[in-house]
């Protein structure tokens, strides 16, 4: 089916009280297992691609693979650029057929974040592409393996009143919030500020996004969904599952150098993780 619009997918999730997983994919195997598992579970899904990842594989080659898998899938699939860092990466994603773009201006001064987010949103909306913005500083960094649960200072979290203003000024279609979440896997249980999240939800009508979903407990994630989170990013856990599948296979069959065999093992461990997230988020059967 055609590549899906992010707003259509997230607004349905917001209305019906579930969340859509955004799995970061970095090669054929990652994208293939996400699409096939989502189809088996009749679940909408988001293929999230970081600029570092598509530049690693080559934008034209990688985007062609991902678009082919997405359009062959019989459930809604969004192709989303994760953590774009400016107009250049946004234009790259637009030209490559992405249906959604995140501009992450959270490290900028507020006024500059507003200015650039608005400019990119206006460009994207002209050709029917959705924009995700970010306000507040999500802890950790893309590609970090582990983060400490106390690594996010309160001052960097999203202010509910400023979030309302930011959405109105920029015209973004979804908003990534900072409520104590961090990129990477948590050491210990993360301390999400759920009161802050509820306040943001009461002031902001558009779908809310949780980065740093990998490693958070099921109970925390479910409460976030109940308080209005409709998109949850999963990157580190999926990479970990890929690694675990390959490592286990090689330890059992150290002389087998056929890639299809150890990649099949990685596929199976990733599929188990993806299935658990889709079912836990309430996404299964929503396509």
Predicted local confidence at residue 140, as pLDDT: 45
Beta-carbon contacts of residue 255 (< 8 Å; ≥ 6 apart): none
- The residue with greater pLDDT, 138 or 260, is 260
What digits encode the pLDDT tens for the residues 174-207? 999 988 866 555 555 667 889 999 999 999 999 9
- The residue with greater pLDDT, 99 or 144, is 99
Would you state the structure tokens that stand for residue 150, as one six-digit string?
């106390």
What digits encode the pLDDT tens for the residues 85-141? 889 889 989 999 999 999 999 889 999 999 999 999 999 999 999 999 999 766 444
Predicted local confidence at residue 54, as pLDDT: 81
Where residue 83 falls (left for φ over 0; alpha for ψ -120 to 50; beta otherwise) is: left
CB 4, CB 77: distance < 8 Å = yes
Alpha-carbon distance 208 to 276, whole Å? 21
Alpha-carbon distance 139 to 24, whole Å? 18
Predicted local confidence at residue 37, as pLDDT: 98
Between β-strands 146-148 and 174-177, what pairing exists: parallel, antiparallel or unpaired? unpaired
Torsion, Cα of 206, 199, 133, 224 (10° steps): -80
Domain ranges of the chain: 6-238+271-281
What's the CATH fold of domain 6-238+271-281? TIM Barrel (3.20.20)
Residues serving a catalytic function are 82
What digits encode the pLDDT tens for the residues 159-174? 999 999 999 999 999 9
DSSP 2: P
> Please, what's the b/e burial string for 80-95 (b: 16 or more CB within 10 A of its CB; e: otherwise)?
bbbbbbeeebbebbbe
Predicted local confidence at residue 157, as pLDDT: 85
């Amino acid at each position: 089916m055609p590549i899906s619009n992010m707003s259509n997918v997230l607004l349905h999730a917001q209305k019906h009280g579930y969340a859509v997983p955004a799995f970061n994919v970095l090669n054929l195997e990652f994208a293939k297992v996400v699409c096939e598992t989502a189809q088996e579970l009749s679940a909408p899904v988001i293929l999230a691609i970081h600029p570092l990842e598509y530049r690693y594989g080559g934008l034209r080659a990688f985007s062609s693979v991902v678009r082919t898998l997405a359009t062959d899938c019989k459930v809604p699939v969004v192709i989303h650029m994760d953590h774009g860092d400016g107009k250049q990466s946004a234009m790259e994603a637009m030209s490559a057929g992405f249906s959604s773009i995140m501009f992450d201006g959270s490290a900028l001064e507020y006024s500059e974040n507003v200015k650039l987010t608005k400019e990119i949103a206006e460009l994207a909306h002209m050709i029917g592409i959705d924009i995700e913005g970010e306000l507040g500083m999500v802890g950790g960094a893309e590609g970090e393996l582990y983060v400490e649960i106390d690594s996010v200072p309160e001052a960097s979290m999203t202010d509910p009143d400023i979030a309302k203003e930011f959405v109105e000024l920029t015209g973004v279609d979804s908003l990534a919030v900072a409520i104590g979440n961090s990129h990477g896997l948590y050491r210990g249980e993360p301390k999400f500020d759920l009161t802050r999240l509820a306040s943001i939800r009461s002031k902001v009508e558009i779908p809310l996004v949780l980065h740093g979903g990998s490693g958070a407990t099921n109970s925390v994630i479910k409460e976030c969904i109940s308080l209005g989170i409709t998109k949850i990013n999963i990157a580190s856990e999926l990479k970990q599952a890929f690694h675990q599948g390959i490592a286990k296979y090689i330890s059992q069959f150290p002389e087998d150098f056929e890639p299809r065999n150890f990649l099949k093992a990685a596929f199976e461990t990733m599929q188990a993780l993806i299935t658990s997230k889709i079912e836990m988020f309430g996404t299964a059967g929503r396509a």
